[in-house]
Structure formats: structure tokens, C-alpha cells
């Protein structure tokens, strides 16, 4: 075996083992016959082509092995939930912009008329379109619109960063969630309505209505009482504001069945952790700008980066343990019958 052949075989390890077992010798033969005499290293074109094709085959194999496990169905539902959250955040900012607009556009002092409305309006439209396409079962349109949402979020963040820093910082973690939504919908293989059915979608709609109602009440309360009273009533109100929509979405996820709803819970926990990590990382980077990177700051960034993976790994582990115990219990019941 020549040095060139050894290196070709090393490159071929990027393919799945089943693919190599079936085609490795044939592929090595073709590569060696096309190589120039005396060559010791694969050409850059051959190496890139093998890496590209190998990654495509391996990712396709991974996607195929996930069929029927419930993860891809859970990805569709989780993507819908996160898209709803992004749409809700945009609607909330649009409502705040309309209230400020009635008193005079505060951005006029910075020479940018209408940005308080244009930015959230664009984000509202794109994420409502994503939600609509997902509910209607238009998978390709959903992925395309979600990708467009990433561009809208990135454009809004860049525009604000050129004017004032605070809104741009707020949009940074939303850009990360937009990328997550796009990945979830691209990974999914079933429409949301096939996973949740009519009852689940009705609960999603109920949660959306509750969120819109509590947002409208919150806006009116903020006008009537600009100074919040940190009493029991306010704590109760905060629980209702966040808790009722979440309960409605949790009930919708419950309709997906035992296998899928556990995966929705795991993916939702990972998404929440990603949102937290992105906000925390933004604060770390801001500190670095003023005081420079420190050993503690670098360590904090590394720990934050690993947190979503830890949540995903722990969730998968606990879910697998729970399902094995449940299957064992069902097996014992059938044996006694």
C-alpha cells in the first residue's frame, strides 16, 4: 500500500462505516487510477470533494437514523414554540414603539425617524409568517421564512449597533434563537399539525390569545401606574403574565404523545439555556471591551458555552432512563397478563 493510498483511506474515514464497507475499495481504485505518477498527497480538489461528499453522506445517515425516534417531530413543535416567542417579543416591542410614537418619535433626536416602528414591524411580520407556514404544514416555506428571519434579525441588530448599543445587545440573543429555529425546522420531518393534532393546535392558539391579552393589560397598567408596587398583586400578575401562556404550550406539547413530549421538554430546556447563555456571553464580551479579557472571564465563557450541551446530554440521559424503566414496567405487566 503506497503512501498516497494510505492518505486516501484516511480521508475516506469521514464516510459512514456502512458506506465504506460497500464502496471503499472501489473508490480507492478510482482515486488511485486518476492520480499522477509519483504523487504522495491527495490533490486539494480530491480532498475537498471527499470531505464534502463524506459529510453529506454522514449527515444524511444521521438524519435517517433519527426517523421514528420522535426527535424530528419534537423539533417541529419546539421550533413553533420558539418562533411564537420571537413573534411575541416583536409584537411587544411594536406596541411599545406605537405608544412612544404617539408622544413623538424618540429616535428623531438621533436623526433616524421611524426606527422604533420599522424594526419591530419587520420582525413581527417575518415571525408571524413563519408561525403561519409551520401551522399550515408548509415545511420548505417554513425553513425558508425562518432563514429570512435570521437575516431580518441580523439586519436589525447591525442597524441598532450603528446608532445605540442597548437595543443591539437585546437583539443579539434573539438572533441566536432565530438560528436555532431555522435549524429545528430544517431538522424536522413532520408538519406541526401532524404532531399536535387539532386539540394541540387549539391549545397553542389559546396560549397565544392569553399572551396577547396579558400583554395588552400590561401596557394599560403601565400607563395608569408608572410606578410598580412590589406587593403580592404584582407577583401574582408576573406569574400570570409568563405562566399562563407557558402552561397552555405545555398542555399542547402533552398532546403529542409520551415519546414526543419528553423530547419537546428536552429541546425546550436546551433552547432556554441557549437564550440564557447568549445574554450572559453578551455581558462577558461587554466587560472585555472595557477591562480586557481575564482568566476568570475566559473560564466563564467556556462554561457558558458548554451549558447547552450539558443540558442536552443530561436530558437525553434522563429521558432514555425513564423510557427504559417505563418499557420494563410494561413488559412486566404483559408477562403477568
Average pLDDT over every residue of 169-175: 79
Residues 28, 102 within the same domain: no
CA–CA gap between residue 267 and residue 270 (Å, rounded): 5
- Listed residues 19, 40, 62: the one ending a domain: 62
pLDDT in tens, 190-208: 889 889 888 899 999 998 8
Residues 6+ apart with CB under 8 A from 285: none
Residues 73, 160 within the same domain: yes
Q: Grid coordinates in use for 307?
A: 451549558
Q: What is the pLDDT of residue 74?
A: 92
Domain count, the chain: 2
Residues 13, 102 within the same domain: no
Residues listed for the chain: 337
Average pLDDT over every residue of 110-134: 81
pTM passes above 0.85:
no
The closest alpha carbon to 181, from 137, 125, 142, belongs to: 142
DSSP 86-109: HHHHHHHHHHHHHHHHHT--GGGG
Q: For the chain, give the mean pLDDT.
A: 80
Looking at the chain, the whole-number percentage of residues with pLDDT higher than 70 is 78
Residues 93, 44 within the same domain: no
The closest alpha carbon to 73, from 267, 216, 217, belongs to: 267
The closest alpha carbon to 77, from 274, 249, 286, 207, belongs to: 249
| Whether pLDDT at 156 is above 80 | yes
Q: Grid coordinates in use for 82?
A: 420558539
Residues 135, 183 within the same domain: yes
In a domain, 157, yes or no: yes
Do residues 126 and 145 lie in contact, with contact meaning Cβ atoms separated by under 8 Å?
Answer: yes
CA–CA gap between residue 97 and residue 82 (Å, rounded): 23
In the 8-state DSSP scheme, what is residue 69?
Answer: S
Residues 29, 101 within the same domain: no
Do residues 128 and 146 lie in contact, with contact meaning Cβ atoms separated by under 8 Å?
Answer: no
Number of Cβ atoms within 10 Å of the Cβ of 51: 12
| Whether pLDDT at 189 is above 90 | no
CA–CA gap between residue 49 and residue 218 (Å, rounded): 56
In a domain, 29, yes or no: yes
In a domain, 164, yes or no: yes
Q: What is the pLDDT of residue 265?
A: 92
In a domain, 172, yes or no: yes
CA–CA gap between residue 149 and residue 86 (Å, rounded): 10
pLDDT in tens, 253-272: 999 888 888 899 999 999 99
Average pLDDT over every residue of 44-71: 69
pLDDT in tens, 227-258: 344 444 555 666 667 788 889 999 999 998 88
In a domain, 235, yes or no: no
In a domain, 112, yes or no: yes
In a domain, 227, yes or no: no
In a domain, 207, yes or no: no
pLDDT in tens, 274-328: 989 888 877 777 777 777 777 777 788 888 888 998 998 888 888 888 877 876 7
- Listed residues 32, 62, 92: the one ending a domain: 62
> 3-state class of 138 per DSSP?
coil
Residues 48, 74 within the same domain: no
Residues 183, 147 within the same domain: yes
Residues 182, 167 within the same domain: yes
Do residues 19 and 55 lie in contact, with contact meaning Cβ atoms separated by under 8 Å?
Answer: no
Structural domain of 58: 3-62
Residues 96, 179 within the same domain: yes
Residues 6+ apart with CB under 8 A from 23: 15
Do residues 277 and 305 lie in contact, with contact meaning Cβ atoms separated by under 8 Å?
Answer: yes
Residues 50, 96 within the same domain: no
Residues 99, 182 within the same domain: yes
Amino acid at each position: 500500500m503506497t503512501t498516497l493510498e494510505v492518505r486516501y483511506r484516511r480521508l475516506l474515514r469521514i464516510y459512514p462505516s456502512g458506506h465504506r464497507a460497500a464502496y471503499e475499495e472501489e473508490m480507492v481504485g478510482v482515486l488511485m487510477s486518476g492520480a499522477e505518477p509519483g504523487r504522495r498527497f491527495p490533490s486539494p480538489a480530491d480532498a475537498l470533494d471527499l470531505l464534502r461528499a463524506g459529510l453529506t453522506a454522514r449527515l444524511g445517515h444521521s438524519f435517517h437514523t433519527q426517523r421514528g425516534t420522535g426527535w424530528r417531530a419534537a423539533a417541529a413543535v419546539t421550533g413553533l414554540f420558539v418562533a411564537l416567542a420571537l413573534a411575541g417579543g416583536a409584537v411587544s416591542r411594536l406596541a411599545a414603539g406605537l405608544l412612544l410614537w404617539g408622544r413623538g418619535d424618540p429616535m428623531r433626536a438621533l436623526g433616524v425617524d421611524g426606527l422604533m416602528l420599522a424594526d419591530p414591524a419587520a420582525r413581527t411580520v417575518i415571525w408571524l409568517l413563519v408561525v403561519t407556514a409551520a401551522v399550515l404544514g408548509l415545511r420548505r416555506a417554513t425553513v425558508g421564512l425562518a432563514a429570512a428571519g435570521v437575516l431580518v434579525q441580523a439586519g436589525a441588530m447591525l442597524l441598532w449597533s450603528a446608532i445605540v448599543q442597548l437595543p443591539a445587545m437585546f437583539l443579539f440573543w434573539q438572533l441566536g434563537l432565530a438560528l436555532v429555529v431555522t435549524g429545528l425546522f430544517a431538522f424536522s420531518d413532520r408538519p406541526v399539525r401532524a404532531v399536535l393534532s387539532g386539540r394541540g393546535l387549539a391549545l397553542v392558539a389559546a396560549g397565544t390569545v392569553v399572551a396577547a391579552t396579558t400583554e395588552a393589560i400590561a401596557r394599560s397598567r403601565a400607563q395608569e401606574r408608572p410606578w410598580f408596587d412590589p406587593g403580592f398583586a404584582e407577583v401574582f400578575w408576573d406569574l400570570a403574565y409568563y405562566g399562563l401562556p407557558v402552561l397552555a404550550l405545555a398542555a399542547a406539547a402533552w398532546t403529542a404523545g409520551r415519546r414526543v413530549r419528553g423530547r419537546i421538554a428536552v429541546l425546550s430546556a436546551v433552547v432556554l439555556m441557549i437564550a440564557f447563555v447568549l445574554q450572559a456571553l453578551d455581558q462577558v464580551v461587554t466587560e472585555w471591551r472595557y477591562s480586557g479579557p481575564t482568566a476568570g472571564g475566559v473560564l466563564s465563557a467556556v462554561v457558558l458555552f458548554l451549558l447547552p450541551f450539558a443540558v442536552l446530554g443530561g436530558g437525553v440521559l434522563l429521558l432514555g432512563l425513564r423510557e427504559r424503566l417505563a418499557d420494563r414496567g410494561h413488559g412486566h405487566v404483559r408477562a403477568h397478563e
